[in-house]
Amino acid sequence: MSAEVNAPLPATIEARAATFDRSNMARVIEGMPGQIAFALTDPAFPDVDTSSISRVIVAGMGGSALPADVVADIFSHDLRAPIHIARHYTVPWVIDRSTLLVVTSFSGNTEETLAAFDQATETDARIVAIAAGGELADRATAANCPFIRIPREREPPGFQPRCALGYFATYMTRLLETAGLLTTGAATLERLIPFLQTIDVRGQAEETAQWLGQRVPIVYTDQTHADSIARITKIKLNENSKRPAFYNVLPEANHNEMIGLAGPFGEYGLLYLKDSLSHSRVHKRFETMRDLFSGRGLSHVQFKAWDLPGATNAERVFAGLMFADWWSYTLALLDGVDPTPVELVEEFKQQLRT
């Protein structure tokens, strides 16, 4: 495929979706507001002892841990305790009676997460497990830990952990509110639902896929959205589009990364997901970098900015995430691959067990 795709986009996407979107990821992306609405009112939400909590730790891997970064960002000015995320076999921080430890694994069988759960059960931490089932559900029941079940049956076959962000983020928000660490959580997510139902970012995401072509994508955001938007967008490009992708933040990238991009080692598409509330000098830095590369004739790096829509931080973050979903989805279809399965990861896990 050339660097620019010349076929009319709507017809191309419709035809390719019918062929390659075998697990109906388009329906899953459109269903994000429904995930939030379901989790907000799920009557099976357990009773949790969260008195005197001063520390929150989330233990998880991959798509099961990503929602914690989103929650930490959208409620950054309201949370009364920091959220630490352990992506490992162990939890490297002190775990005691004042700790709310949320153990997350969509499958319930993630070996790193199960190891962290076993470590935590030897402490006084208040542990809550979130999974669709699997070994984690069994261990939580045996240890008499509160368990929140992701309703996988509401989704199409092949539904992936990275697509369950709405469920995970909402359940985590309810836990934080129950613990008295957040007072605006449910109300913020309730207001988010109609916004996500009416916002239209798909067309702009498809145009951005056309713009990127076969370049390697690099996603930039303000530092405040490094993990919640930039990193997750990079991961969606890896898993949905099956492409190498990278991310960084401004202003830090101007002090180092842009020097490496100047060399003739590939073709890159640098997308800046722009928050209107970022410091004005951050925006100026992106514009200056773009103009500098253009002025030097460094055409192997192309620049594009996309304004995050929304009146609130939560709206802008989730709008960015929906854009990432549609962008990575479209790239997958243009490249002729199914956006849902991650066969290499599954094969890796299988070989790891032997």
Does the structure show a pLDDT above 90 at 6? no
Q: Which distant-in-sequence residues (6+ apart) come within 8 Å of 246 by Cβ?
A: 216, 217, 218, 219, 234
Share of the chain above pLDDT 90, in %: 91
Q: Which distant-in-sequence residues (6+ apart) come within 8 Å of 292 by Cβ?
A: none
Does the structure show a pLDDT above 70 at 286? yes
Over range 152-161, report the average pLDDT: 94
Does the structure show a pLDDT above 80 at 163? yes
Over range 148-169, report the average pLDDT: 96
Q: Which of 196, 214, 243 is the last residue of a domain?
A: 196
Weakest mean pLDDT among 92-96, 244-248, 289-293, 336-340: 92-96
pLDDT confidence of residue 252: 97
- Interval 95-144: pLDDT, tens: 999 999 999 999 999 999 999 999 999 999 999 999 999 999 999 999 99
Q: Let me know whether 189 and 307 are in one domain.
A: no
Weakest mean pLDDT among 6-20, 34-48, 238-252, 285-299: 6-20
Look at residue 327 and tell me if it is in a domain: yes
> Residue 45 and residue 198: Cα distance in Å, rounded?
28
Share of the chain above pLDDT 70, in %: 97
Does the structure show a pLDDT above 50 at 2? no
Look at residue 348 and tell me if it is in a domain: no
pLDDT confidence of residue 7: 45
Look at residue 78 and tell me if it is in a domain: yes
Look at residue 274 and tell me if it is in a domain: yes
Look at residue 84 and tell me if it is in a domain: yes
pLDDT confidence of residue 337: 94
Q: Let me know whether 249 and 157 are in one domain.
A: no
Over range 271-292, report the average pLDDT: 97
Does the structure show a pLDDT above 70 at 351? yes
Look at residue 4 and tell me if it is in a domain: no
Q: Let me know whether 156 and 276 are in one domain.
A: no
Look at residue 237 and tell me if it is in a domain: yes
Residue 140: φ, ψ to 5°: -65, -40
Residue 131 pairs with which residues in a beta bridge? Answer: 105, 149
Q: Which distant-in-sequence residues (6+ apart) come within 8 Å of 251 by Cβ?
A: 223, 281, 282, 285
Over range 153-164, report the average pLDDT: 94
Output the domain CATH number for residue 133. 3.40.50.10490
- Smallest CA-to-CA distance from 260 within 315, 216, 308, 309 is with 216
Burial of 78 (0-12, 13-18, 19+ CB in 10 A): middle
Instruction: Name the 3-class secondary structure at 125.
Output: coil
Alpha-carbon separation of residue 252 from 221, 258, 259, 312 (angstroms): 10, 10, 12, 25
Q: Let me know whether 212 and 175 are in one domain.
A: no
pTM of the full structure = 0.94
Q: Let me know whether 73 and 218 are in one domain.
A: no
> Residue 148 and residue 70: Cα distance in Å, rounded?
19
- Domain of residue 67 covers 26-196
Give the distance from CA 162 to its chain's centroid.
Answer: 7
> Residue 108 and residue 211: Cα distance in Å, rounded?
39
Look at residue 352 and tell me if it is in a domain: no
Does the structure show a pLDDT above 90 at 4? no
Q: Let me know whether 249 and 136 are in one domain.
A: no
pLDDT confidence of residue 211: 97
Q: Which of 151, 177, 196 is the last residue of a domain?
A: 196
Task: Give the chain's mean pLDDT.
Answer: 94
Q: Which distant-in-sequence residues (6+ apart) come within 8 Å of 129 by Cβ?
A: 102, 103, 104, 117, 136, 137, 139, 140, 145, 146, 147, 148
Query: What's the number of domains the chain is made of?
Result: 2
Does the structure show a pLDDT above 60 at 8? no
Does the structure show a pLDDT above 70 at 314? yes
Band (pLDDT 50/70/90 cuts) for residue 335 is: very high
pLDDT confidence of residue 10: 53
> Residue 278 and residue 265: Cα distance in Å, rounded?
31
Q: Let me know whether 292 and 153 are in one domain.
A: no
Q: Let me know whether 167 and 314 are in one domain.
A: no
